[in-house]
Structure 1
Amino acid sequence: MQDKKIAFVFPGQGSQAVGMLSTLADEPIVRETLKEADEALGFALFKLIAEGPAEELSLTVNTQPALVCASIAMYRFYLQEGGRKPDLLAGHSLGEYSALVAAGALDFTDALQLVRYRAEQMQAAVPVGEGTMAAILGLSDDQVKTVCLECATNGVVEAVNFNTPGQVVIAGTVAAVQEAMEKSLAAGAKRAIKLNVSGPFHSSLMKPAALAMEEKLKTVDLQKPFLPVLHNVDVQIHEEPDAIRDVLAAQVASPVLWADTVRKMEEAGVMEIYEVGPGAALSGMVKRITKGITAKALNSRAALEEAAAANQEK
């Protein structure tokens, strides 16, 4: 009998927390991963992850490499415990870099340096205070898009994260996002929540960062992945390194099609999705997108060991 299909997904910004590797801190493979990261970045990422302060860990330039590092440390531990490789991989925004490392397409140290550069470029694209993001709850995708179009005269505002049915994140200039939040509530949204972020990520305002990433990615060695990765921008699997470079660059200034990514996994026969990394945001989203897939967050030693035992490498 063929094993059930499993997929691994990796979280993006917002899942970070001080002590996110605390249950695994004594594991040699985890310490080795953290040491690699410290050497690649030239500062004590290990110390920042373990001790904080939270404000410093939450700076975009630190958050992005810290999340890739934590996710890959957990993934390596899972494999060490005898867990079988997944049939499919994906990541939410930043998490796509972790997925590509797990798929063998991108070297771990290259990924860390890339996401730090990505964070710097995203921050530089729009001065702090000029752009923001908000989550709109309780409207359809089309309703949110319509509201954004109605507010376009007040600045830039776009639907940028299609996370689950009834949960869409918008991004743009502060005044336009504020107006879109008010119009969304007037149109029947249950809530409109301003996000604690430093920029309008995944909107067209990030074009300068996307262009910078396009150039940077030309300098990085990419391989054909040995495991398929579904990408956020077009919900497609890409095998050729140049195609992967294109979607990674485009991703910075394009919407994250997360609900469609999960539906595509279901179409491919995936029955279980495991979220590898801190937090449980993605597994929570999966449960709201489809009842046909079981979702579990592997964010601790116990959860990783349990998943490895349930999915033994044969």
Structure 2
Amino acid sequence: MSAKRLGQMAQATKTAFLFPGQGSQKTGMLADLAEQFAGVQQTFSEASQALGHDLWHIAQSGEGLDQTQNTQPVLLTASIALWRVWLELGGIAPKYLVGHSLGEYSALVAAEAMTLTDAVKLVNLRGKLMQSAVPQGEGAMAAILGLSDEQVVALCRQVSGQAGAHAAAAVEAANYNAQGQVVIAGSAALVQQVMTLAKEQSGKAIALPVSVPSHCSLMKPAAEKFAEALEQTAIELPVIPVIQNVNAAIATDVTQLRQALTAQLYQPVQWTRSMQYLQDQGIRYVVECGPGNVLANLAKRLPDIEKAFPVDTQSRLEDALNVIMVAEGKIA
């Protein structure tokens, strides 16, 4: 499908696509769909050639899947494979695209802003830079549940202030995922302190099994190096609007788009605001285009979202296609 045609198709719909980030990977992802649609493995072959190693093998075997430099290109490729299958089956082009963290790159590939080849190279580098920015074991992330955004931010500031002003002793809000759900990131010891204080305020705190403290100031060294790679990468404005993580807004030029991708490494993901933007624009149906259903489940909690679908298996994909095509008036 041409980029122009894709953009035209997306104008009048009430549907948005959500692309998941790191943490949604699972061994054997898309295996059943690959048996039915040749495009799944073709997409993985395209991405594998760009990197020089077999991403499909990693996805199916799980070997090295938990290594950030592998996780990111595998997830991006899986999301784009699902996107292509959706379009192949006549699925409606959504009005907006939004990706959570790494998923923003999937959204940009789907929107024809960059090629899959360039994107997998970028996120492979992104993963390496993120991993090398903080020594293993020194960074951490945790989900804080049941407290307001303001309460979590205040706890982070309290603990960081007590530790000192230098960046290595910081803990910050990293993902504003939903009302009452904020992920924090930073120095492992300080993350643990915030978790303890959150529990004392009747909140819940869950340590996340990650090796990199994403979306906090500890990632600034990685962002500086990553900005150089972004400048070398051909990027165009998306043909379907992409809501960016750092400001829950749509870039009006490529410079803004690049700046937002750089800042995304060390600034929080504004997912709550992004989802509110979708609702304000009349979006009523969302499709999570990637492995799992974390983003679809978050969307189901929103008052204006009528249906939220994962599409990572054949039955889920068929269900989403049927319901959305009827809802959008494309079939009776």
TM-score (norm 1): 0.95
Aligned-residue CA RMSD (Å): 1.4
User: What does residue 194 of structure 1 align with?
Assistant: 207
CA offsets 1:222-249 (integer angstroms, 9 cap, x no match): 0121100000100101142211111001
Number of aligned residue pairs: 309
User: 1:38 deviation in Å?
Assistant: 1.2
The residue that corresponds to 1:60 in the other structure is 68
1:147 alignment partner in structure 2: 155
2:120 to 95, 108, 112: 112
Give CA-to-partner distance per residue, 1:100-133, whole Å, 9 cap, x none: 0010101011000000000001011111111111
Secondary structure of the equivalent of 2:114?
coil
Q: 1:146-165 deviations in whole A, cap 9, x for unaligned?
A: 11111012321111111011
Tell me the equivalent position of 1:46.
Answer: 56
Offset at 1:292? Answer: 1.0
Does the 8 Å CA contact 1:91/1:99 hold for their aligned counterparts?
yes
- Cα distance in 2 for partners of 1:38, 1:137 equals 38
Q: 2:185 aligns with which of 150, 154, 171?
A: 171
SS state at 2:57 partner: helix
Q: CA deviation at 1:310?
A: 3.9
Q: Is the 8 A contact 2:13 2:95 kept in 1?
A: no
Amino acid at match of 2:122: L
Cα separation, partners in 2 of 1:39 and 1:175, compared to 1, 3 Å? same
Give 1:266-281 correspondences, 5 Å limit: 266-281=279-294
> Superposition pairs for residues 1-314 of structure 1, below 5 Å?
4-26=13-35, 27-53=37-63, 56-152=64-160, 153-154=162-163, 155-189=169-203, 191-288=204-301, 290-293=302-305, 294-312=307-325
Identical columns (%): 46
| 1:300 Cα offset (Å) | 1.1
The Cα offsets for residues 252-281 of structure 1, whole Å up to 9 and x where unpaired, read as 001001111100000011011110110101
TM-score (norm 2): 0.90
Deviation at 1:305, TM superposition (A): 2.8
Deviations 1:164-201 (A, max 9, x none): 11111111111111111111111221x11111111211
What displacement does 1:3 show?
5.8
> Once the 2 structures are TM-superposed, how far is the Cα of residue 63 of structure 1 from its aligned partner?
0.5
Other structure's SS at 1:252 match? coil
Q: Distance in 1 between matches of 2:324 and 2:207?
A: 39
Q: Does the aligned pair in 2 maintain the 1:82–1:309 contact within 8 Å?
A: no
Question: Letter of the aligned partner of 2:32 in structure 1?
Answer: T
Taking the aligned partners of 2:131 and 2:113, their CA distance within structure 1 comes to 26
Q: Give unpaired runs (5+ residues) of structure 2.
A: 1-10, 164-168
Query: In structure 1, how many angstroms separate the alpha carbons of the residues matched to 2:189 and 2:226?
Result: 28
Q: 1 CA distance for matches of 2:66 and 2:314?
A: 23
Q: Is the 8 A contact 1:78 1:305 kept in 2?
A: no
Report the 3-state secondary structure (helix = DSSP H, G, I; strand = E; otherwise coil) of the residue aligned with 1:256.
coil
Matched residue type, 1:163: N
Quick one: distance in 2 between partners of 1:3 and 1:236? 19
Task: Give the Cα separation in 2 of the matches to 1:151 and 1:50.
Answer: 41
* Alpha-carbon distance in 2 for matches of 1:287, 1:306: 16
CA deviation vs aligned residue, 1:55-103 (integer Å, no higher than 9, x gap): x211111100000000000110010000111000000000000000010
Moved more, 234-243 or 110-119: 234-243
